[in-house]
Amino acid sequence: MKWFGKRAARDDARPGLARGGGSGVVLGEWPRSYEAQVRDGYCGNAVAQRAVRLVAEAVGSAPVEASDPALAALVGARVDGRPVLETVAAQLMLHGNAYLAVLREGPDDVGELFPLRPERVRVELDALGWPAAYRYQVGERVTRFGADPHRPEIVHLKGFNPVDDHYGLGCLGAASGAVAVHNAAARWSKALLDNAARPSGVLLYEPGDGAVLSAEQWARVRDELDREFSGAANAGRPMILEGGFKWAALSLSPADMDFAGTRDAAAREIALAFGVPPMLLGLPGDNTYANYREANRALWRLTVLPLAGAVLGGIAHGVRGWFEDARLVVDLDRVPALAEERAMLWKSVAAADWLSDDEKRQLVRP
């Protein structure tokens, strides 16, 4: 079997892999709107995309301490030029689920952890409702991965979901309302710029003799307005009106003038959904932190480290069948954003003469 055009050389490294079929029950279907949410909320929204990339790239660049050099090489690898941890972090934030295919090099060796597209994976349950397999579907092709609790073929990482036992919950859904408002505000601003950055007006017809224009005449007036006076290319062009016509410009109401404020509020809500301090995204009106250094430290403490800990802990748990007592943690002493904080901790611990060396090591251990 070919690995969907990739990893063909690793086919024999996956014992028990079957295509299609399966006697279990496939659990649920992810909403078809997920792709639309990604296009609107990530591909088409600068704030959401920057927030996701800021967190995911931080997780991907975090220094990792591993119990085994081979395990460290697995999580430090790159797939298609991007760190595995960065891809997994982005998938968890957007979709709420990340699936890593365990590609073996032999019966007792793991060669690679390959991230799968999460929206293409479905959980297959046994008669008791426990995961029995994972079905990965691309078009008409279906690959079935076993869910052996000791040496699984898929490592499933998921965010907390209070309404589902088998699928995680991402941040994109919570941010979708703010994304819709922000995108709508951007389209409104674009339309206003296309109209010479001025509000529209009303064309009044007041003939002196009481005559009424025919339908053909009104159509000609509308076509001439659209052709000669609409759009950014015709901005500022003088309008010459025939007898009986008057142009009355419309002004923006206070609610219209506050449209920019609505867009900024939506942007801050998007940043909140993804756990990024608005200051780091250059958003106005929310300078909670005194400077960028404090905001960056808050980003690491409140968002990056919890997410990285969940990812590394889930991977270590998933590969424990190959690596005994597997341990993966972020080395806090090598995180630049936490350098000042760690230095203060080391100084405080070193001054504690009543503690033994082993107790001091436990206090500063990540």
Burial (CB < 10 A; 0-12, 13-18, 19+), residue 120, is middle
Q: Which of the residue ranges 130-144, 185-199, 329-343, 350-364 has the most confident prediction, judged by mean pLDDT? A: 130-144
- Whether the pLDDT of residue 331 is over 70: the answer is yes
Taking residues 229-243, report their average pLDDT: 55
What pLDDT band is residue 10 in, cutting at 50, 70 and 90?
very low
* Angle (nearest 5°) at CA 87 between 85 and 93: 100
Mean pLDDT, the chain, rounded, equals 79
Structure token digits, residue 47? 């704030």
The domain locations on the chain are: 200-250, 335-366
What pLDDT band is residue 105 in, cutting at 50, 70 and 90?
confident
Q: What is the pLDDT of residue 57?
A: 95
Tell me which residue has tokens 């015709």: 234
Q: Report CA torsion sign: 75, 76, 82, 85.
A: positive
62 and 329 Cβ atoms separated by less than 8 Å: no
Per-residue pLDDT of 73-92, as tens digits, reads: 999 999 888 999 999 999 99
Report which of residues 255 and 40 the model is more confident about: 40
Taking residues 289-295, report their average pLDDT: 78
Helix (H, G, I), strand (E, B) or coil at 82: strand
Lowest-pLDDT choice from 256-260, 343-347, 358-362: 256-260
pTM: 0.75
Helix (H, G, I), strand (E, B) or coil at 115: strand
**For residue 220, which phi and psi values (nearest 5 degrees)?**
-65, -40
Q: What percentage of the chain has pLDDT greater than the value 70?
A: 73
What pLDDT band is residue 197 in, cutting at 50, 70 and 90?
low
Residue 45 is given by DSSP the state -
Structure token digits, residue 234? 């015709």
What pLDDT band is residue 342 in, cutting at 50, 70 and 90?
confident
